[in-house]
Amino acid sequence: MVCAAANVADVTETPSLLHGTEREVHADAGYTGAEKRAEVQDLHVTWYIAMNRGKLKAMTEGKLKELSDQAEHLKAKIRARIEHPLHSVKDLFRHRKVRYKGLAKNAAQMHTLFGLANLVIAKRALLA
Instruction: Judge whether 11 and 34 are in contact, CB under 8 Å.
Output: yes
Report d(CA 96, CA 126) in Å as an integer. Answer: 28
Interval 43-49 mean pLDDT: 92
pLDDT of the residue at 82: 82
Average pLDDT, the chain: 90
d(CA 18, CA 25): 9
* pLDDT band at 128; cut points 50, 70, 90: confident
pTM, 2 dp: 0.77
pLDDT digits (tens, 9 = 90+) for 78-115: 988 888 888 889 998 989 888 888 999 999 999 999 99
